[in-house]
A and B are shown apart, each in its own frame.
Chain A
Amino acid sequence: MNDETTNGARYAGTRVPRVEDPRLLTGHGTYVDDVARPGTLHACFVRSPLARASIGSVDASEALALEGVHAVFTAEDLNPGVHEQWYTLIGRDVPDTPRPQLAEGEVRFVGDPVALVVADDRYIAEDAAELVVVDYEPLPPVVDYATARDSGELVHADYPRNIACELAGLPVEDFPVFEEAAFTVRETIRQQAYAAVPIETRGIVAEWSAVTGEMAIWASTQSPHEMRLFCARLLGIDEHRVRVVMRDTGGGFGQKVLPMREEICIMLASLKVPGPLKWIEDRRENLLSAGQARHEHADARIAFDADGTMLATAIDYVQDVGAYPIPAPMNTCAVVGILFPGPYRVPQGTFATTGVFSNTVGRTAYRGPWQFESVAREVLLDIAAREMGMDPAELRRRNLLRRDEFPYTNHNGMPYSDVTPLDTFEQALEMLDYEAFRAEQARARTEGRFLGVGTCTYVEPTTDSLSLHATEGATIRIEPSGKVNVYVGGGSSGNSLETTVVQLTADALGVDIADVNTVQGDTAVTPFGGGTGGSRSGSMTAGAVEVTASILRERIAEIAAHRLEVSVDDVEVAGGQAAVRGKPETGIPLAEIASIAYFQPETLPPGVPPGLEASGRYRAQSPVIWANATHLCTCEVDVETGAVKLLRFIVSEDCGPMINPSVVEGQIAGGAVQGIGGALYEHLAYDEDGNPVSTTFMDYLLPTATEVPVIEYGHVETPGPGPGGYKGVGEGGAIGAPPAVVNAVADALAPFGVKITRLPVTPESIVALVRAARVREEAAG
């Protein structure tokens, strides 16, 4: 643990206890469902039971007759209320995919919201929702995205062949290397649908005051300022008349980056009801309607020369975007293709990507939305290694980019910099003692036990600088007592941003951390900010705090210099005071400087403004900040039942210098366990008719404390181009874990000569692979 970092910071780099914890540990957090406004009404959606149908009449008379029911809204009532509907993150003029508020004319997935019931409480609202009679005319659904391009049916009439978006580089036929190389591996790799599944579901309270023309919103969101802008445009209200508050959000992981259809409906309906309107999604709705991610496949290939040097990569990638993707899917589709070569030295190649509609829940952002580039590449590399008779670690070592090769531009034109893939790879192997594990594995096999090791090494773009994310602001008030309040957009959604900001501010102003407080998540009092998304919060808020604190440091120094009768350059601001450099005994406490600034403005030096309050805005210095990591997993497979027990899980991560190692490791662990869930357990599945079959926590299997291994961390700290050298770390865990787990299982099963190309790796799939291998073996005699 560092007490003092090289730049004199006292708190950055240390495991400062979280400032969020006391309230959250004692039940005093404020999540959206905890907000109790007088006269609140409660909403419940009537949802489609069919994957695809045309909507006939909607009869709400019985529901409306129920005591305690205030209104039942249909598309006719709500949808015309839309003024403008677009996300700041994406932009007004970027082509978007269809997104009605309530379903109009046709329902397009099971769970599609058709009507909205408003009642005195949620119990009554659910009673009433059951009484709304919707006349559906069933239509043949397009359930399987993989065959949707050849279906005669269309999810949206305006999208021929059900294609939502397409982007392609040169045709793969232009690369004879795949035919001519000593060895080319080619497989179709498939990933199942799974989702963010925060333990707090979505929710919103919208309170419209017709008298003042003001809208107040409390929401479970990762981006209160995006929600405010969005709501203002949606309803045609001036932005400054909309206030969005989020104190505590119970996890988002991408799902709560943008307001979705249900939140939009609540905003629209709130104008039409006589009180604040609350909608708290229940778990079934969350698994039915809050979106899927990860449902995709690719025909991927890698060409090698005889010694295992990578010559070319190509991927033809297809993504299920569901019926109503949020946001429009082009970006993640493209990134999967572009990043497929990953952190390897690959001189040539190409990609093609396609997003395809289906009559299932829409795709939504989820932690590392492009992670399939790593799944496809890393699984393929292990298959190649086994087929070439090489150790997979040796194959990677030969091809991973070295530190001295950066900046490096991959064959799709993507430039990487400030990353250390080979370093993290070697560190992870060393932490395991790879050779010792291989020896143990060999011993175990002689006893009929099957151990395996798998890795994944990736580079990850963090802290993008596009539109909503281009800047981040901070306001710092040194109050008249000398205590500090720092205001950033932020908000607590699990990423410890309050602690981070307090740490950074205490360092930037040279004050005790106990003297710093932060106010976040309320658009009425915090500067505009992009919110949590794209692994940007650490770097961007660090920039915002530094830009702002530097204004105040300068002002403090000027006031102190004037009082001490020395040059400003001779003043040092540290330890809660301003003093002549090297003479701390001359120090004027910050409280005294604040008192001068606020109460004795006549004594201020000329040109120095009164007060000790400043606002600043940081602009991202580079298009993205690259981070990288290696995940390494070992496991034992019970080939009789197909059970997988994870033994060790090592993550070597380079997210630059760490502001708070506990926060970094918490992000890594959380992401990695989500990835373990995706590799082994979680599946948002549909049957052939488009009925979802995992809409409870009995069927949607989140990992529990008994399924997860101890996660071990290794850190490589290479500064990035941003403030403090900090890089993003929120998403990576969810990228690296699935391929590492899949490769570990495949390695354990290597004696059977099996190939795993389909996720999730269920016990049944393992038993089937082993059985098939045994049948092959017997047939071969």
Chain B
Amino acid sequence: MLLDVQFSLRNGIFLIGGLLSFALAGATLKSSSQASAQTQPATATQAPAQPTIVPPAAGQTQRGGLSVVVLDPAHGGTDPGARGTGGVRESDLVLEFSDSVRRALEAQGLRVRQTRQGNDDPSLDDRSAMANAQHGTVFVTLHVSSTGLPGTVRVYTMTDFPPMTDTTGMLAWDRAQAPFLELSRKLGDLVQGQLSQQFKGSPSTAQTAAVRQLRTTAAPAIAVEVSSVTVDDRAALERMAPGVAGAIARGIAAFRPIYETSPVAGALP
């Protein structure tokens, strides 16, 4: 009797083992098929439904004023951004820069929100969404280039493109920046002016570029790019952080009255 029980128990264990193995094999095959499906080039892409943003009415002033700065340390997670031969990674550096910028902005009495705090990589739309969800916001995305004269800093605003609304008057998500271009340029010039005083060789006015991150941001938005990861010593870039932070904070402080008195900030004509 005891032997029968032991035998049944052993058979049961083998059966369970066999079933688990089948399950494991099944899971492996499923993940294989998913992985190989991802590696196949897409033959047709389905455009995701485009979210929309309610634009302010024309003539509406910025009630409440400028109160929040959304800081975006670019890249992160599996995306290191620009990488130097000396091991400098853009994603790490911009996180350090954003800490300095945050402190400088808070000293100006501004609230700061960061799109990422650690080594994660929110999508470009998620980063924009953080700014788009609030009023009285400016958006600053921080980058370190892999080219350019080391020790210089450039500010970029989005290139011109016309705003587009759907039939309900909603602003298309992928053109969210369009009504803010003028304000973005004013902000960009103010910040770049401060940076050019701090870092010789930097341009005196902001430049325009088709920066993807800026396109979907429904707020005055600039990209700040420090040159560059090619430096031999990472400390050389780290030393730039307080100067960059101070210049951005002063530029935004100078922009504050312009923003608050602007009657058409974000309003469609």
A joins B in a complex: no
Residues of A within 8 A of B (CB): none
Give the interface of B toward A (CB within 8 A): none
